[in-house]
Amino acid sequence: MRQYSADLTPPWKKPQPVPEVPAEPGLVVEEPGTGFCGAVIGCEAGTVTLEDRFGKHRVFPLEPRGFLLEGRVVTLVRPSAGPARPTRTASGSVAVPGARARVARAGRIYVEGRHDAELVEKVWGDDLRVEGVVVEYLEGVDDLPSIVSAFGPGPDARLGVLVDHLVPGSKEWRIAESVTSEHALVVGHPYIDVWEAVKPSSVGIAGWPRVPRGQDWKTGVCAALGWRVANTGEAWQRILGSVHSYKDLEPALLGRVEELIDFVTAPA
């Protein structure tokens, strides 16, 4: 006599199997119930601890189908081997071993010049690739309102802009104030040039020289420090080479870049 299964659920309504992924340190996942996204920093019997980009920790149970990995539902399981200590990126975030670059978002971060872009890439490059954020440079902000208008920022394509010397009353301040789109965020640091955002101690100098108004700032800095005045590009490479992590940068720049990354990666 033929035996029939008591389970009459159609196959297309049954939960599909999902991959089991070891909760290795540094693995970045999202807990869909809370939206908390972070890197694995610890895994005990039945629980996993995640750390987000701000250093906040949350503990979640290791439940079946309990997490998202690159947008796919997975079941985290305890690794068979003992956890290794996670490493950090230059920005201080938990490194993600073997992480592939995410497809670039429609949103962008604009910075003023090539030096700004190179500095952001050196410190935040790993984070930007994981988040799929592209950084472009403008060569100045005089035409910023028209540039923002041409970009056409929207809920799914946010635009963040980092401006040098953004202090009340400055030309840069007035230009930034003219950008009114709710999907564009203009922030800045108080330094005349991004060179100043690198800590003098990291460069091996006592402090950044004061350059008289009306004189080219970079040229004046090189002259005061005894560097070759004719080659500010060489000076920049010397400065950039002294930057190894976020610890070599001033907090006034660190906070603004983190703010822009959060803005352009926020859910629509």
Largest CA distance in the chain: 100
Closest C-alpha among 134, 235, 133, 149 to residue 194: 235
Closest C-alpha among 197, 17, 186 to residue 115: 197
Buried b (16+ CB within 10 A) or exposed e, 90-121: bbbbbbbeeeeeeeeeebbbbbbeebbbbbbb
The band of 8, judged by pLDDT with boundaries at 50, 70 and 90, is low
Query: What's the gap between Cα 20 and its chain centre?
Result: 28
- Which of 35, 60, 77 is the last residue in one of the domains? 77
Same domain (yes/no): 25, 131 = no
C-alpha span between 192 and 194 (Å, rounded): 7
* Beta carbons of 159 and 184 less than 8 angstroms apart: yes
User: What pTM, to 2 d.p., does this model score?
Assistant: 0.65
* Beta carbons of 134 and 104 less than 8 angstroms apart: yes
Determine how many CB atoms are found less than 10 A away from the CB of residue 48: 25
C-alpha span between 168 and 19 (Å, rounded): 54
Same domain (yes/no): 116, 238 = yes
C-alpha span between 268 and 250 (Å, rounded): 31
pLDDT at 228: 86
Residues 6+ apart with CB under 8 A from 13: none
pLDDT at 159: 95
Owning domain of residue 73: 16-77
Whether 8 is in a domain gets the answer: no
Same domain (yes/no): 146, 236 = yes
Strand order in the sheet with 134-137: 134-137, 108-111, 159-163, 184-188
Q: Which of 11-15, 54-58, 146-150 has the lowest mean pLDDT?
A: 11-15
State percent of the chain over pLDDT 90. 53
Answer with the residue of higher pLDDT: 95 or 172: 172
Cβ-in-10-Å burial (0-12, 13-18, 19+) of 87 comes to: exposed
Answer with the residue of higher pLDDT: 68 or 106: 68
pLDDT at 53: 76
- 3-state SS, residue 103: coil
pLDDT at 83: 46
Confidence check: pLDDT of 67 > 50? yes
Intra-chain end-to-end CA distance of the chain, in Å: 58
pLDDT at 43: 86
Confidence check: pLDDT of 14 > 90? no
The band of 251, judged by pLDDT with boundaries at 50, 70 and 90, is very high
Report the chain's mean pLDDT, rounded to a whole number: 86
pLDDT at 54: 75
Q: Which amino acid is at 261?
A: I
Same domain (yes/no): 153, 20 = no
Answer with the residue of higher pLDDT: 62 or 98: 62
Same domain (yes/no): 72, 179 = no
Cβ-in-10-Å burial (0-12, 13-18, 19+) of 51 comes to: buried
pLDDT at 94: 61
Confidence check: pLDDT of 16 > 70? no
C-alpha span between 141 and 161 (Å, rounded): 9
pLDDT at 207: 96
pLDDT tens-digit readout, 23-54: 988 888 899 988 888 888 888 878 899 888 77
Confidence check: pLDDT of 56 > 90? no
The band of 74, judged by pLDDT with boundaries at 50, 70 and 90, is very high
Same domain (yes/no): 113, 206 = yes
Q: How many domains does the chain have?
A: 2
Whether 91 is in a domain gets the answer: no
Whether 102 is in a domain gets the answer: no
